[in-house]
Amino acid sequence: MDNSSILQELQFKAIRSSGPGGQHANKVSSKVELVFDIAHSKGLSEAEKNRLFFKLKSKLSKENVLTLQCDESRSQHKNKDLVIKRFFELLKRALLVPKKRKRTKPSKGAIEKRLQAKKRAALKKVNRSKPRLD
C-alpha cells in the first residue's frame, strides 16, 4: 500500500452540512465527502484490493466505490483532514491480517484441577443417594 499515491487518487466534494448552524450552515459548504475507487487504484496491489472488496463490502457502492463523509467541524479544512485520517485508519484495519492462533495443551495443573472438580461433583451425587442397609 502506497499512501502517497492513494492520497493523490482521492476525490473530494464539499457539500452543505445539515443540522444547526443558522445562516453559516446555509451559505458555507463545510461537509466533506471523500470518494475512492478501489478497483482503479494504482497504490494497492491486487491482493490488497481483493481483501478490501471482501472486508469493506458493506461500505462500498454498486460501482465498488468507497465513500466517507465528515461534518464534525465548522471548518472544511478540518473536516477534510478528519475524513482522510478516518480513511487511512479504515484501510489499515481492513488490510490487517490477524495472527494465526497457536494450539496449546492445557497445563498439568489445569488438568489436575478439572479432575479434582469432577471427583468432588461425583462424590456429592453419591452422597445424595439413600444409604444401603446391608
- Residue, of 60 and 114, whose pLDDT is higher: 114
Q: Are 70 and 18 in contact (CB under 8 A)?
A: no
User: Domains in the chain and their CATH numbers?
Assistant: 3-95 (3.30.160.20)
Mean pLDDT, range 74-100, rounded to an integer: 91
Mean pLDDT, range 55-64, rounded to an integer: 86
Mean pLDDT, range 82-89, rounded to an integer: 94
Which range has the top average pLDDT, 13-22, 40-49, 116-125?
A: 116-125
Q: Is 106 exposed, middle or buried (0-12, 13-18, 19+ CB in 10 A)?
A: exposed
Assigned C-alpha cell, 120 = 468432588
Residue 129: its pLDDT value, please?
A: 86
Cα Rg for the chain, rounded, in angstroms?
A: 29
| Cβ neighbours, 10 Å, residue 99 | 6
Residue 67: its pLDDT value, please?
A: 92
Q: Are 97 and 50 in contact (CB under 8 A)?
A: no
Q: Are 19 and 25 in contact (CB under 8 A)?
A: yes
Assigned C-alpha cell, 4 = 502517497
